[in-house]
Amino acid sequence: MLMKYPLDHPYSLATKAVISQVQSDALKGITQNEAVKRSQTYGLNTFKSQKQKSLWLIMLVQFKSPIVYLLVFGAAVSLYFKDVLETIAILAVIVINALIGFFMEMQARSSMNALKKMDVILAKVIRDGKTRSVPSEQLVPGDLVPLEAGDIIPADGRLVAVNRLQCDESSLTGESLPSDKTIEALKADTVIGDQHNMAFKGASVINGNGKIVITGIAAETQLGTITSLVDSSADTVTPLDKKLNKLSRKLIWITLGMTAIFAATGFIQGKSLLMIIETSIALAVAAIPEGLPIVATVALSYGMLLMARRNAIVKKLSAVETLGSTGVILTDKTGTLTENKIFADTFAFPDESVKVHIEDHELKFPDGAIKSSAENFDKLLFTGILCNNAVVNVNEINNSKPKLSGDPVEVALLQLGMAAGLDTSALLKKYVRIGEVPFSSEIMMMGTLNRTPDEDFVAAKGSVEHLLEKCSRIQSGEHIGEMDSHSKEEILLKSEQMAASGLRVLAFAYRVDKKMDERGFLTDLIYIGMAGFLDPPRMDIKGAILDCRNAGIKVVMITGDHPQTALNIARKVGLIEQDNKKVITGKELPKSDLLTKAWRKRILDTAVFARASPKQKLEIAGVFQQDGSIVAMTGDGVNDAPALKKADVGIAMGIRGTQVAKETASIILKDDSFTSIAEAVAHGREIFQNIQKFVVYLVSCNLSEIFIVTVLGVVIPAATLLPLQILFLNMVTDIFPALALGLGAGDDTVMQRPPRDPKKNIITNEKWLVIALYSTAMTSAVILAVVYCREVLHTDDRVSNNVAFITLTLTQLFHVFNMSSSGSAFFKNEITRNKFVWIALFICSGLTLMVFAVPGMRLVLGLAVLPIKLWITAITISLLPLFVIQCWKAFQKYRLHKSL
């Protein structure tokens, strides 16, 4: 029998019929070899991505620019006046500019593609009877996929097993309420919103668990049907793009004003119309850094790749810029500030407390053996093994070393049971699970109903407060009595003491009876005792938090843990001072619409929030945002998705994070460490700083060109730079040094300054004054060189022009060293340490010398072989702006130091 795919109305078939038609197995799934065959037959489980531009189209787009249109017009004018050589030269410049843009865009695309490959979404699948993780694109029809809360469903599938399974399908059906799932067959005309026995690609599991047999992948899914109707998606404009566009408009007005001055002066002086038109066009090209958006893209892409190597995968370009202005980081505790390596430390029973630890896979009691609570201890271990979703994977190479995976606390409970000599596999086989109440933030507990031929056993674990509400009896050794209010108070007091010592506390309870109802079995429980689990803080956290403080970033912990546990960890990692006891719990936090001015101030002044729900996390973020802060927020669960979306920068945990959180967030941490967050913020600042540096560099260099041409056109017309010389300068001194600045590592003080105001433009008013100083210094140097050569060395017009060309070229190349941060040493800063800067200078210097060495190129650019003294003159004078600006920076540094 051949496998049938795609199936017609799989929701109308019984589970056995579906499994039969896709030739799968409800327990073991398909084999790995079969999966490979089906992948070759049916393709990958991916949508056709938006078609990338062809290489020819990318090249043609480089010519789609008003600047290019002006150059073509200039070439046409030159051809009209029969200046064939200049026509060819202008056309060559157009092609060279296009090639530079083409290769830079290809580099940006290559970097982005490499980044996408780093963010592979994994899916769980059962093949050959074993659960494994594979890239979701490798799933095939017939695969058996387990589902649990937090998963994004990787493909369409028919449900073959469910346990209180609920899915959010609002993106497909528009239904805001979750869909309760079943496995019963439905009518063939059932609409998608009522297909409760199907799970659809892109939907999210919000409660319970289950299994599906995949019946549709890629385009054969409901989501694929919708996606195929969309030909292309609109490009979004990032905040950075908007700022660059705003800058370009300002430069256009400056260019038009200066060009008008030059043109008017040229007419008065009787210059030829051809010269005026060509020079005006060249001025426009020189003043507007047309390669700015591409250079910015390359810088962002390169920075994002570096961040990915540092365990932070950035999914959105706009997040890079936003990171640079982050003022508040709202972080979880477990796994982010701590090691997320949970192990049992203390057990508290009604009659005694005992310390434990595992040494060489054996359970040890440091304070001596258990005295009167041995029965409680055994029952707690038994309950912890049954009320547990951790998975034991036997190592195929060495069966004596099983690998555990799942929730860290549940893994710790299994490890504890194994160390105590219990056969966990045998217990789970004997006590078959027939019911489960999954843990949720609402009930704060988990329970299982397990059946044997003789009895039913209810195993429960959860927060002390919530579990005690379900307990009516208490066990002390072999005696079981009624639970009274006094006993509850003592238990709660003990749990407070354990939490205050930094332990994560869970209470355990059970019930034994004859056959029980599979619904509502978490009642009339017998309290056993509490276990305290230790999750030590990460060793590198203190330094990262200190870096954030120095950078003016407030770090706030929001956790669902006990207040004392939260405070204890916060003190250990340096988040708060040792005597700080300020903590706000979820119970006392008012609803957002009831927040008074005093409450808002209290929230802003607090660094630790405990017992907080996901909704309250969202509201806390809103308070900081309303105060004007840019908020970065971490999250890992399904319920964190709204908060991650609301935050200015959503950060998902890559190890323990659910697919919902990863899909919603703009950044994914591969190691779940807060240190990686701090490094990502620092790198985000570095990237924006680099963008700001090359923008300042480009604008100051280009404005100096137009100032020089305008001034020389008025004062010494014969020495004015020729259009092709300006175009050559624009290519040589703009592209390579600017790109080198964009790829720099940043200075050491990037995390010693307060966050950047996100509302400010790339070039602030202060920066415009600095640009004016830079441009004036470079312009003055070139004018000085021309005047010196004419008045002292008595050179002719052509030589004066050549000296102006050399001086301006070298001045702009030396100008790259002025881009170092204020206060840094001249010979040791982020610019001199940037290897790309030295490579750029080497390339540019080589191209300049080549222009003078090759006769044909000299002729095109109107250059001549100059004596050595003129080269010495040009080099000496070109160093003056660097000297002047460095002296000015030193003076500013002295004034700042004196004022402090």
**Most trustworthy range by pLDDT among 189-198, 215-224, 432-441, 807-816:** 807-816
* Distance in angstroms (rounded) separating the CA atoms of residues 507 and 463: 6
Average pLDDT over residues 376-389: 93
Q: What's the pLDDT at 231?
A: 38
Cβ pair 171, 57 in contact under 8 A: no
**Is residue 163's pLDDT more than 80?**
yes
Closest to 438 in 3D by CA, of 466, 455, 461, 469: 461
Residue 85: CB atoms within 10 A of its CB come to 12
The domains of the chain are located at 10-45+139-228, 240-307+681-899, 326-338+538-672, 346-530
Considering only residues 716 and 875, tell me which one the structure prediction assigns the higher pLDDT. Answer: 875
pLDDT > 70: percent of the chain: 85
- Output the CATH code of domain 240-307+681-899: 1.20.1110.10
What does the DSSP assignment read for 262-298?
A: HHHHHHHHT--HHHHHHHHHHHHHHHS-TTHHHHHHH
Average pLDDT, the chain: 82
What's at 46, amino acid-wise?
Answer: T
**Most trustworthy range by pLDDT among 91-105, 253-267, 346-360, 865-879:** 865-879
Which tens digits make up the pLDDT trace of 679-688? 888 888 888 8
Q: What's the pLDDT at 86?
A: 64
Cβ pair 172, 192 in contact under 8 A: yes
* Distance in angstroms (rounded) separating the CA atoms of residues 658 and 677: 18
Considering only residues 637 and 543, tell me which one the structure prediction assigns the higher pLDDT. Answer: 543
Of 156, 332, 456, 648, catalytic: 332
- Say whether 495 sits in a helix, a strand or coil: helix
* Distance in angstroms (rounded) separating the CA atoms of residues 732 and 705: 13
**Is residue 108's pLDDT more than 60?**
no
Q: What's the pLDDT at 52?
A: 63
Considering only residues 313 and 278, tell me which one the structure prediction assigns the higher pLDDT. Answer: 313
Considering only residues 151 and 164, tell me which one the structure prediction assigns the higher pLDDT. Answer: 151
- Both structure tokens of 25: 């197995």
Torsion of CA 253, 256, 258, 264, to 10 degrees: -150
The domain 346-530 having CATH identifier 1.10.357.10: the answer here is no
Band (533; pLDDT cuts 50, 70, 90): confident
Any idea what DSSP says for residue 1? Answer: -
* Distance in angstroms (rounded) separating the CA atoms of residues 664 and 319: 13
Which tens digits make up the pLDDT trace of 552-578? 999 999 987 778 778 888 988 899 988
Q: What's the pLDDT at 115?
A: 46
Q: What's the pLDDT at 397?
A: 38
Name the β-bridge partners of 511.
Answer: 458
* Distance in angstroms (rounded) separating the CA atoms of residues 607 and 548: 13
* Distance in angstroms (rounded) separating the CA atoms of residues 814 and 834: 14
Strand residues in 202-356 grouped as ranges (E): 204-216, 312-314, 328-331, 343-348, 353-355
- Both structure tokens of 163: 């346990």
Q: How do strand 204-216 and strand 156-168 relate by DSSP bridges?
A: antiparallel
- Both structure tokens of 494: 């003990």
* Distance in angstroms (rounded) separating the CA atoms of residues 452 and 464: 28
Q: What's the pLDDT at 491?
A: 95
* Distance in angstroms (rounded) separating the CA atoms of residues 444 and 558: 17
Band (396; pLDDT cuts 50, 70, 90): very low
Band (278; pLDDT cuts 50, 70, 90): low
* Distance in angstroms (rounded) separating the CA atoms of residues 502 and 504: 7
- Both structure tokens of 867: 């004596």
Which tens digits make up the pLDDT trace of 815-852? 999 988 766 667 778 888 889 999 999 999 999 999 88
**Is residue 266's pLDDT more than 60?**
yes
Which tens digits make up the pLDDT trace of 113-141? 654 555 457 789 999 999 888 988 899 99
Report the top-level CATH class of 10-45+139-228. Answer: mainly beta
- Both structure tokens of 879: 């160093």
Helices (H) and strands (E) in the chain, counts: 31, 28
Residue that is written with structure tokens 């319920």 in the block: 639
Q: How far apart are the first and last CA of the chain?
A: 85
Band (292; pLDDT cuts 50, 70, 90): low
Active site residue 332: yes
**Is residue 659's pLDDT more than 70?**
no
Give the range among 173-177, 483-487, 488-492, 694-698 with minimum mean pLDDT. 173-177
Name the β-bridge partners of 338.
Answer: 537
Give the contacts of 76 (CB within 8 A, at least 6 positions apart).
none
Band (227; pLDDT cuts 50, 70, 90): low
The CATH label, of 3.40.50.150, 3.40.50.1000, 3.40.50.2000, 3.40.50.300, for the domain at 326-338+538-672 is: 3.40.50.1000
Any idea what DSSP says for residue 432? Answer: E
Inter-CA distances, 129 with 27, 213, 306, 567, Å: 7, 14, 39, 45
Give the H or E element holding residue 61. helix 55-61
Considering only residues 828 and 883, tell me which one the structure prediction assigns the higher pLDDT. Answer: 883
Considering only residues 652 and 730, tell me which one the structure prediction assigns the higher pLDDT. Answer: 652
* Distance in angstroms (rounded) separating the CA atoms of residues 673 and 677: 7
Q: What's the pLDDT at 68?
A: 66
What is the pTM for the complete model shown?
0.64
